[in-house]
Chain A
Amino acid sequence: MIFKAINISKTFPFPQKTTLFSNLSLELEKGQSVAITGKSGVGKTTLLHIFGTLEEADSGEIHVAGQLLTPANGSKFRRKNIGFIFQSFHLLEDFTLLENVLMPALIARTPKKPDFGLHLLEQVGLADRAYFPAKLLSGGEKQRAAIARALCNDPDLILADEPSGNLDSSNAEKIGSLLLSIVEQHKKGLILVTHNPDLATLCQKHYSLAEGKLGISL
Chain B
Amino acid sequence: MFELTIALKYLVPRKRSLSTTLISAMSILVISLVVWLVLVFLSVTAGIEKNWIKKLTSLHAPIRLSPTQDYYNSYFYQIDALTAASHYTYKTIGEKYESQISDPFFPDVDAELPPYLPPADRLNNGMIRDPVKDAIRSLTMLQKEIPSLSFQDYEIGGALMHLFLTSSSSSLSQMSYLLSIPDQNPYFHDLCLPPAEGPLDFDLPPEIPPPYIYFVQKKLQIPDLGPEIPAILPKNYKDSGAKFGDRGTLSYTTPSAGSTQEQRLPFRVAGFYDPGILSVGNKCILVPQEVSRDIYGSTQTFSPDGTPTNGIFVWINELSKAEEISKKITLLLEEAGISSYWKVTTYEKFEFAKDLLQQFRSDRTLLLLIAVIILMVACCNIISLLVLLVNDKKKEIAILQSMGASFKSIAAIFGFCGIAMGVISCLLGSLLAVFTLHNLDSLVSFLSKIQGRAAFNPAFFGNSLPNQLSWEAFLFVLIATPILSLLAGLIPAIKASRIRPSSSLRSE
Minimum distance in angstroms from B507 CB to a CB of chain A: 9
Contact B9 A108 (CB under 8 A): no
Contact B406 A75 (CB under 8 A): yes
- Closest chain B residue, CB of each to CB of A48: B502
- Closest chain B residue, CB of each to CB of A50: B502
A198 in contact (CB, < 8 A): no
Contact B404 A46 (CB under 8 A): no
Minimum distance in angstroms from B389 CB to a CB of chain A: 13
Cβ–Cβ < 8 Å partners of A77 in chain B:
404
Cβ–Cβ < 8 Å partners of A49 in chain B:
501-502, 505
* B5 partner, pick from A88, A104, A106, beta carbons under 8 A: A106
B263 in contact (CB, < 8 A): no
Contact B9 A76 (CB under 8 A): no
A157 in contact (CB, < 8 A): no
A78 in contact (CB, < 8 A): yes
Q: Would A76 and B404 be within 8 Å (CB), given that A54-B502, A54-B505, A90-B505 are in contact?
A: yes
- In the assembly, what is the distance between CA of A106 and CA of B6, in Å? 11
Q: How large is the interface on A (under 10, 10 to 19, 20 to 34, 35 or more residues)?
A: 20 to 34
Q: How large is the interface on B (under 10, 10 to 19, 20 to 34, 35 or more residues)?
A: 20 to 34
Contact B506 A75 (CB under 8 A): no
Contact A90 B502 (CB under 8 A): no
- In the assembly, what is the distance between CA of A45 and CA of B501, in Å? 12
Cβ–Cβ < 8 Å partners of A92 in chain B:
396, 399-400
Minimum distance in angstroms from B15 CB to a CB of chain A: 12
Cβ–Cβ < 8 Å partners of A106 in chain B:
2, 5
- In the assembly, what is the distance between CA of A94 and CA of B406, in Å? 21
- Closest chain B residue, CB of each to CB of A111: B2
- Closest chain B residue, CB of each to CB of A77: B404
Cβ–Cβ < 8 Å partners of B506 in chain A:
45
Contact B404 A79 (CB under 8 A): yes
Q: A-B contact count, CB below 8 Å?
A: 64
Contact A79 B403 (CB under 8 A): yes
Q: Would A107 and B399 be within 8 Å (CB), given that A46-B502, A94-B9 are in contact?
A: no
Cβ–Cβ < 8 Å partners of B399 in chain A:
90-92
Contact B402 A90 (CB under 8 A): yes
Minimum distance in angstroms from B153 CB to a CB of chain A: 71
* A54 partner, pick from B2, B396, B402, B406, beta carbons under 8 A: B402
- Closest chain B residue, CB of each to CB of A88: B508
Contact A103 B2 (CB under 8 A): yes
Contact A75 B502 (CB under 8 A): no
Q: Would A55 and B409 be within 8 Å (CB), given that A75-B404, A78-B404, A84-B402 are in contact?
A: no
Cβ–Cβ < 8 Å partners of B483 in chain A:
none
Contact A103 B502 (CB under 8 A): no
Cβ–Cβ < 8 Å partners of A189 in chain B:
none
B50 in contact (CB, < 8 A): no
Minimum distance in angstroms from A11 CB to a CB of chain B: 15
Cβ–Cβ < 8 Å partners of A108 in chain B:
404
- In the assembly, what is the distance between CA of A106 and CA of B1, in Å? 7
Which residues of chain B in 392-423 are interfacial with respect to chain A, using CB atoms and an 8 Å cutoff?
Answer: 395-396, 398-407, 409
Which residues of chain B in 472-508 are interfacial with respect to chain A, using CB atoms and an 8 Å cutoff?
Answer: 500-502, 505-506, 508
Contact B403 A104 (CB under 8 A): yes
Cβ–Cβ < 8 Å partners of B409 in chain A:
107
- In the assembly, what is the distance between CA of A77 and CA of B405, in Å? 10
A3 in contact (CB, < 8 A): no
- Closest chain B residue, CB of each to CB of A90: B399
Cβ–Cβ < 8 Å partners of B508 in chain A:
88
- In the assembly, what is the distance between CA of A80 and CA of B409, in Å? 16
Cβ–Cβ < 8 Å partners of B406 in chain A:
75
B438 in contact (CB, < 8 A): no
A207 in contact (CB, < 8 A): no
A86 in contact (CB, < 8 A): yes
Contact A78 B402 (CB under 8 A): yes
- In the assembly, what is the distance between CA of A197 and CA of B500, in Å? 30
* B2 partner, pick from A80, A107, A153, beta carbons under 8 A: A107
Minimum distance in angstroms from A26 CB to a CB of chain B: 18
- Closest chain B residue, CB of each to CB of A135: B16
Contact B402 A107 (CB under 8 A): no
* B405 partner, pick from A45, A91, A94, A107, beta carbons under 8 A: A107
Q: Mark A146-180, 1 if CB is under 8 A from B, else 0.
A: 00010001000000000000000000000000000
Question: For B2, B402, B403, which residue has the most chain A Cβ atoms within 10 angstroms?
Answer: B403
A52 in contact (CB, < 8 A): yes
Question: For B400, B407, B505, which residue has the most chain A Cβ atoms within 10 angstroms?
Answer: B505
Minimum distance in angstroms from A171 CB to a CB of chain B: 18
- In the assembly, what is the distance between CA of A52 and CA of B501, in Å? 11
Cβ–Cβ < 8 Å partners of B328 in chain A:
none
Q: Mark A83-123, 1 if CB is under 8 A from B, else 0.
A: 01010101111110000000110111000000000000000
- In the assembly, what is the distance between CA of A76 and CA of B408, in Å? 12
Contact A54 B403 (CB under 8 A): no
Minimum distance in angstroms from B233 CB to a CB of chain A: 75
Q: Mark A188-199, 1 if CB is under 8 A from B, else 0.
A: 000000000000
- In the assembly, what is the distance between CA of A153 and CA of B2, in Å? 15
Contact B403 A103 (CB under 8 A): yes
Cβ–Cβ < 8 Å partners of B398 in chain A:
90
Q: Would A75 and B405 be within 8 Å (CB), given that A94-B14, A95-B9, A107-B2 are in contact?
A: yes
- In the assembly, what is the distance between CA of A92 and CA of B399, in Å? 8
Q: Mark A41-62, 1 if CB is under 8 A from B, else 0.
A: 0000110010010110000000
Contacts A46-B502, A75-B406, A78-B403 supplied; 20 other A-B pairs, CB < 8 Å: A52-B402, A54-B502, A54-B505, A55-B500, A55-B502, A75-B404, A77-B404, A78-B401, A78-B402, A82-B404, A88-B505, A90-B398, A90-B399, A91-B399, A92-B396, A103-B403, A104-B404, A106-B2, A107-B405, A153-B404
Q: Give the 10 A-B CB pairs with smallest separation, nearest first.
A: A79-B404, A78-B404, A106-B2, A55-B502, A75-B406, A49-B502, A104-B403, A54-B502, A90-B399, A54-B501
Instruction: Supply 11 A–B pairs (Cβ within 8 Å), ascending by A.
Output: A54-B501, A55-B500, A86-B402, A86-B505, A88-B505, A88-B508, A90-B395, A92-B396, A106-B2, A107-B404, A107-B409
